[in-house]
Every structure is written in structure tokens, then in C-alpha cells.
């Protein structure tokens, strides 16, 4: 055999062996790196334990769910999430529904929650400006038994709750159930939801807010009542501050509030159709001062407007067809603005 050819053959054999070894080592290293990255991406995003509500629609794919979780800051990587689900054959187990999840939970924990429905939840939402009868309807529509809801709305059940410390004896919960979305699981009772809403209201009724009501010459209950009227009358915060100024000025000068929405509330509370001519203790065209109590729940901005009215000197306002509230100082100005800007709403009685 030619020694030169034999040497070349050995050299190629060595190079081939080295190349194969390099490929094997590289492959092992790649697997190690990929595995390390994969495991890192299965970890929790952060230590934040804030609950984030996500809803997985019916028919969502694993990719859809991964994108939803990533967009809500609940997982590090859509790829790692999808791979984990595939590795564990859990794709068919992921259930549609609403879940309360946390950035402090790992992919394993999140998948476990979604696949087993451990804290599968509905949301019970009290919309800002909802009356007590509307909140009752929301609770019943959320699956609670009607009699259980009626029992849960009994204020005597929460007599010691700090939110109700200023509520007059005999008054119902109107105005005190803070507008927010609340979790509902299979174990949740309507009392739990009411308790959470009262907790939220208590957080807003701070010592500073109570003191600010007093400076306006109002009790806390009267302050909530004023805030509920402002809540219903105008939508924007700055307009609410001006509306609060109008009502406070009228109260101080002994002028009737003349609020349409209080008249309508009186009719509804009496079981009648909404009407601007219904005679009741809530008719502020007939009766001086505030209504006997709140006419709806109140948002934080309405409470703030009631204690921080605008530094204006208005005495009238009207909501225009264009959604803008027009304020004025004299009856003549008010009538002119009404004729100019409230042709449809004012003619229909809305």
C-alpha cells in the first residue's frame, strides 16, 4: 500500500471522527442551552402577586392562550408555554373561561390552573351609577339565587362594616356598593360580593374625605348622596366639579336642586315607569335640599368632585345633545343655552 495514501486516509478518518465528535458535542451543548433557556422561561415573570383577570374565549388554541398570557405580562415566552403544554399533552385540557392569575406564578402553575379550572371565575361587575335594583339584577344574572341576593342586600348583615358607620339607621345599601368588577367562584356567596364592594367603598371614605365633607357642611351620608346625583348628572370629572359647585351653591342659598334624575329615581324606587312628573320625596323640583339618600353608587371621581367643587359661580347647567354640559349664572342664560344646545334631549324628557 502506498504510505502516502495510507497517511491521507488516516488523516481523513481523524478529521471525520473529529467532525462527528464536534457535531455531537455541539448538539449536546445546544440541547443544554435550549433546555436552560426553556427552564428559565418557565419561571414566574416576577414576584408581583397582583391578580390579573384574563378571559380565554371558547375555541382558543394553545397559541392564542400563550399570546393572551404574554400580552398580560403573565408568562415570559409564548414558545416555552406552548412547548410545556405539548410536552405534557395538556393542549386538550386547557379550558375556556375567566381566570385570576398572577405574575408570580410559574408556567406550570398557570397551566395547572387553566387545565383544572382551580380558580375559574366569573366577574360580577357593578357599573358606575348603578342603582341598588340594578345591582340586585346583576347579582341574580351572575347566577346567585334571588332569595339569597335579597338576603345579602340586608344592611343589617354588615352593621359593623366601617363603610357604613355613618349610614342612618334604617337606610338601605344604596350608594355604598362601589362600582368595580369582583371575582366569583363556585364558593362565592352574594354576601362575599357585597362585602368586597363595601371594602372598596371604605377605602374611598378616608378620614380626609370625611373631613372634606364636613367642611362643605355635609354629613358623610349627605356627601355620598350629593356625589350620587353628580355621578348621574354629568360624566366628565371637571364637569362633575362644576355640577357639584352648582348644587352646593343652591343648597346654601336655599334654592331647590331641580335635578331631573332625582325625579326619575323616585318613580323607579316606587315601582313606576321613569317619569319627570312623578311626585315623591326624591322630586327636587318639589322638595328643597338633598334627596333622602343616594340615588346610585358612586365612583371615586364623583366623591372627589363633591368635596372639591370647582371655583366657579354657576347656578344652572344643562346637558346638551352634543354630550357637553353647559353652565350659566342666570335663568335667562340657562334658558338660552337650553334652547340652543338641548333640542332633542330636552324635548323628549330624557
For 49-65, how does the pLDDT look when each residue is reduced to its tens digit (9 = 90+)? 888 888 787 778 999 99
- CA-CA distance, 173 to 337, in Å (whole number)? 37
* Segment 69-100, tens digit of pLDDT: 999 999 999 999 999 999 999 988 998 777 88
C-alpha torsion 137→179→282→267, nearest 10: -30
User: What b/e readout covers 300-323, taking b as 16+ CB neighbours within 10 angstroms?
Assistant: bbbbbbbbbbbeeebbbbbbbeee
Q: Other C-beta atoms within 10 Å of 269: how many?
A: 20
Q: Does 152 have pLDDT greater than 80?
A: yes
C-alpha torsion 323→327→333→339, nearest 10: 10
Confidence band for 117, pLDDT divided at 50, 70 and 90: low
pLDDT at 241: 94
pLDDT at 23: 74
Which residues, 6 or more positions from 107, have their beta carbon under 8 angstroms from its beta carbon? Answer: 41, 42, 43, 75, 80, 81, 84
Residue scoring higher pLDDT (290 or 3): 290
Among the residue ranges 194-203, 277-286, 333-342, the one predicted with the least confidence is: 333-342
Q: Judging by beta carbons within 10 Å of its beta carbon (0-12, 13-18, 19+), is residue 231 exposed, middle or buried?
A: buried
In the chain, residues under CATH classification 3.30.1490.480 are: 52-118
> What's the chain's average pLDDT?
88
- CA-CA distance, 209 to 64, in Å (whole number)? 45
State if pTM tops 0.85. Answer: no
* Segment 8-33, tens digit of pLDDT: 666 666 667 767 666 776 666 666 66
Alpha helices in the chain (DSSP H): 3-41, 62-71, 78-87, 107-116, 132-141, 146-152, 190-204, 207-215, 220-233, 237-253, 260-269, 300-307, 331-341, 345-348
Confidence band for 350, pLDDT divided at 50, 70 and 90: very low
Confidence band for 104, pLDDT divided at 50, 70 and 90: very high
Q: Other C-beta atoms within 10 Å of 44: how many?
A: 19
Q: Does 225 have pLDDT greater than 90?
A: yes
- Overall average pLDDT of the 268-293 stretch: 95
Q: Other C-beta atoms within 10 Å of 212: how many?
A: 17
- Overall average pLDDT of the 330-349 stretch: 80
Long-range pairs of 193-197 with CB within 8 A, sequence gap ≥ 24 = 193/124, 193/139, 193/152, 194/152, 194/153, 194/157, 194/158, 195/158, 195/161, 197/126
Backbone angles phi, psi at 54, to 5 degrees: -125, 145
C-alpha dist (Å) from residue 15 to 1, 6, 7, 24, 230: 21, 14, 12, 14, 85
* CATH code, residues 52-118: 3.30.1490.480
- Overall average pLDDT of the 116-133 stretch: 80
* Segment 27-53, tens digit of pLDDT: 666 666 678 788 899 999 988 888 888
C-alpha torsion 302→306→310→316, nearest 10: 90
- CA-CA distance, 174 to 38, in Å (whole number)? 53
Amino acid at each position: 500500500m502506498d504510505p502516502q495514501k495510507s497517511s491521507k486516509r488516516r488523516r481523513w478518518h481523524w478529521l471525520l471522527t473529529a467532525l462527528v465528535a464536534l457535531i455531537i458535542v455541539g448538539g449536546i451543548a445546544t440541547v443544554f442551552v435550549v433546555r436552560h433557556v426553556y427552564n428559565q422561561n418557565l419561571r414566574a415573570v416576577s414576584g408581583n402577586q397582583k391578580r390579573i383577570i384574563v378571559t380565554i374565549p371558547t375555541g382558543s388554541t394553545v397559541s392564542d392562550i400563550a399570546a393572551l398570557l404574554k400580552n398580560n405580562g403573565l408568562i415570559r415566552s409564548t414558545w416555552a408555554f406552548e412547548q410545556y403544554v405539548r410536552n405534557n399533552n395538556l393542549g386538550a385540557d386547557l379550558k375556556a373561561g375567566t381566570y385570576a392569575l398572577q405574575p408570580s406564578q410559574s408556567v406550570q402553575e398557570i397551566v395547572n390552573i387553566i387545565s383544572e379550572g382551580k380558580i375559574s371565575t366569573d366577574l360580577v361587575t357593578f357599573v358606575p351609577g348603578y342603582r341598588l335594583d340594578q345591582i340586585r339584577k346583576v347579582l341574580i344574572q351572575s347566577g346567585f339565587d334571588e332569595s339569597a341576593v335579597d338576603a345579602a342586600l340586608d344592611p343589617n348583615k354588615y352593621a359593623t362594616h366601617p363603610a357604613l358607620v355613618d349610614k342612618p339607621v334604617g337606610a338601605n345599601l344604596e350608594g355604598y356598593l362601589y362600582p368595580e368588577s369582583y371575582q366569583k367562584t363556585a364558593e362565592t356567596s352574594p354576601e362575599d360580593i357585597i362585602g368586597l364592594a363595601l371594602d372598596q367603598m371604605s377605602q374611598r371614605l378616608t378620614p380626609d374625605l370625611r373631613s372634606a365633607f364636613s367642611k362643605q357642611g355635609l354629613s358623610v351620608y349627605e356627601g355620598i348622596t350629593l356625589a350620587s346625583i353628580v355621578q348621574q348628572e354629568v360624566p366628565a370629572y371637571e364637569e362633575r366639579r362644576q355640577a357639584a359647585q352648582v348644587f352646593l351653591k343652591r343648597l346654601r342659598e336655599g334654592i331647590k336642586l331641580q335635578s331631573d334624575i332625582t325625579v326619575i329615581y323616585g318613580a323607579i324606587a316606587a315601582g313606576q315607569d321613569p317619569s319627570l312628573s312623578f311626585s315623591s320625596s326624591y322630586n327636587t323640583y318639589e322638595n328643597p335640599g338633598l334627596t333622602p339618600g343616594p340615588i346610585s353608587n358612586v365612583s371615586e371621581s364623583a366623591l372627589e368632585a363633591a368635596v372639591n367643587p370647582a371655583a366657579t359661580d354657576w347656578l344652572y347647567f344643562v346637558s346638551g345633545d352634543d354630550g357637553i354640559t353647559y353652565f350659566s349664572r342666570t335663568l335667562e342664560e340657562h334658558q338660552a343655552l337650553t334652547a340652543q344646545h338641548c333640542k332633542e334631549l330636552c324635548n323628549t324628557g330624557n
